[in-house]
Amino acid sequence: MLDQIVFYFFAVLAVISAVMVVTRRNVVQSAIFLITALLATAGIFLQLHAEFLFIVQVILYAGGIMVLFVFVIMLVSLDVSLNQVQFNRQWWLGLLLALVLGAQLTIAVAVGRAGLPLGEPAPAKMLEPSTQLVGRVLFSEYVLPFEIASILLLVAMIGAVVMAKKKI
Amino acid sequence: MIPTSHYLFLSLGLFTIGVIGVVTRRNVIVILMSIELMLNAVNINLVAFSRLVGSVEGHVFAIFIITDAAAEAAVGLGIIIAFFRNRETLLGDEMDLLKW
Amino acid sequence: MTGNDLQSYAPLLLHLTLAMALSGVLVLLSSLVGWRRPSTTKSQPYECGITPTGDAREPFSVKFYLVAMVFILFDVEAIFLYPWAYIFRELRWFGFVEMILYIGILLVGYFYLWKKGALDWNRPAVRRDRAS
């Protein structure tokens, strides 16, 4: 029962704030609603027993990436964009195509859901701390992606400095 | 126990909203935020399937995706700053030159 | 199985519910019960002191963005250190070498930032740009 309440509460919260992100005129409000959506997703991760991912989501996404977004929103001037038309000329076509995509995905899941067994996780394994399990998988099977992630971060550092630093 | 398909429905809902944001909005910052929303939806999918299978590999992939999102946000926002400095606008429609 | 999983997080949930309910009730009550008499003095950002001039949303220096960016990228690095620190006894030398390689690659980026002056707040970056 508790499971259901938590899941549906966070699911509804995530969807509502996602809609708000897309529809708000003010970018700062969009950013705040994006934080809500990310935190709601973090709640769903907790409900799914991904404790480590929950913490990563809160620290990195809600605490880190959003700080970057808000800084950039403050960096570029706000008032210019408030008076402009927020949606582009072909918005109806884009909306239509996106809704078609959504409908396709919905049909795919609705048809295929019968094939999904009701997930019963192995209880003994799940009792272990999630961090330990993640670490064991990450540092045995996924060593190469892990090292590549460091190169990705290096490239991101250099790219961001090159992009932003030309003249202050 | 919540069936896995409900997670999938939630995830595809969030993903579709993200797509709508990307294709209809003009403000580049909102477009970037919509992309973050889509990445997030993918993460929910991965973790839900991970529970279904009973392993944590989905969590590992989700962490990689979050890493990717951080790198993407850093570089993407750098590009936005450079773009704003050159064109004095934030509209995605104005991004029509490869080189300034 | 239903509900038992999250039982250990019940205090957290209680906390969350209480915090949300309290803040919601307070905001709602103050908007319902309180009355409003807006005046120009009240809507000023500072109650006393000098009168503010101009807009508060001045576009500020790109250095803030650079610092935030550096923070995020090294935050990601720290996130990978957590599971490693949890199991590094099991991994033995393999994990150690792995992590040295990882940190080594990121150190390259760190020295790049240092060299470029992204970590300096005041002096060298401005002077270098002016010289070129």
- What domains can you pick out in chain C, each with its CATH number? 59-132 (1.20.58.1610)
Summarize the confidence of residues A53-79 as an average pLDDT: 84
Closest partner CB to C102 (pick from A49, A131, A147): A147
Question: Cα separations (Å) of A3 from B48, C94, C109?
Answer: 14, 40, 44
> In this complex, is the C-beta atom of A52 within 8 Å of any C-beta atom belonging to chain C?
yes
Contact (CB, 8 A) for A7 and A44: yes
Q: Is the per-residue pLDDT at C2 higher than 70?
A: no
Rounded Cα distance, C63 and C122, in Å: 10
Kindly report whether the global pTM for this prediction surpasses the value 0.90: no
Structure tokens at C75: 């935050």
> In this complex, is the C-beta atom of A124 within 8 Å of any C-beta atom belonging to chain C?
no
Q: Is the per-residue pLDDT at A78 higher than 80?
A: no
* Per-residue pLDDT at A128: 62
Summarize the confidence of residues C43-67 as an average pLDDT: 72
Please tell me the distance in Å from A110's CA to the nearest CA on chain C.
24
Helices and strands of chain A, counted as H and E runs: 9, 0
Summarize the confidence of residues B87-92 as an average pLDDT: 76
Mean pLDDT of chain C: 79
Q: What are phi and psi of C35, to 5 degrees?
A: -110, 160
> Tens digit of pLDDT for each residue in C89-128?
888 888 889 899 999 999 998 898 888 877 777 754 444 4
> In this complex, is the C-beta atom of A38 within 8 Å of any C-beta atom belonging to chain B?
yes
Summarize the confidence of residues C9-35 as an average pLDDT: 88
Q: Is the per-residue pLDDT at A156 higher than 80?
A: yes
Please tell me the distance in Å from C6's CA to the nearest CA on chain A.
7
> Tens digit of pLDDT for each residue in B14-71?
999 999 999 988 888 899 999 999 999 999 999 988 888 878 888 899 999 999 999 9
User: Residue for token digits 């199991």?
Assistant: C87
* Per-residue pLDDT at C57: 60
Amino acid at A52: F
* Per-residue pLDDT at A168: 44
* Per-residue pLDDT at B35: 94
Crossing angle of the two packed helices C10-33 and A2-23, in degrees rounded to 10: 50
**Quick one: what percent of chain C has pLDDT higher than 90?**
14
Contact (CB, 8 A) for B58 and B49: yes
Please tell me the distance in Å from B78's CA to the nearest CA on chain C.
8
Q: What's the CA dihedral at C36, C38, C43, C49 to 10 degrees?
A: -100
* B27: β partners: B91
Residues of A in contact with C77 (CB under 8 A): 150, 153
* Per-residue pLDDT at C25: 95
Rounded Cα distance, C79 and C92, in Å: 20
Per-residue exposure over A14-27, b if at least 16 CB sit within 10 Å of its own CB, e if not: bbebbbbbbbbeeb
Crossing angle of the two packed helices A27-47 and A2-23, in degrees rounded to 10: 160
Contact (CB, 8 A) for C105 and A147: yes
> In this complex, is the C-beta atom of A101 within 8 Å of any C-beta atom belonging to chain B?
yes
Amino acid at A17: S
Structure tokens at B45: 């999918």
Q: Is the per-residue pLDDT at C55 higher than 60?
A: yes
Rounded Cα distance, C61 and C128, in Å: 17
Exposed/middle/buried for residue A38 (C-beta within 10 Å: 0-12, 13-18, 19+)? buried
* Per-residue pLDDT at A62: 85
Q: What's chain B's Rg over C-alpha atoms?
A: 17
- CA atoms in the 13 A half-sphere facing the CB of C77: 24
Rounded Cα distance, A154 and C110, in Å: 9
Q: Is the per-residue pLDDT at A120 higher than 90?
A: no
- CA atoms in the 13 A half-sphere facing the CB of A40: 23
Q: Where are the alpha helices (DSSP H) in C10-62?
A: 10-33
User: DSSP letter at A65?
Assistant: I
Residues of C in contact with A76 (CB under 8 A): 59
Q: Is the per-residue pLDDT at A46 higher than 50?
A: yes
Summarize the confidence of residues A130-141 as an average pLDDT: 84
User: DSSP letter at C51?
Assistant: P
Mean pLDDT of chain A: 83
* Per-residue pLDDT at A36: 92
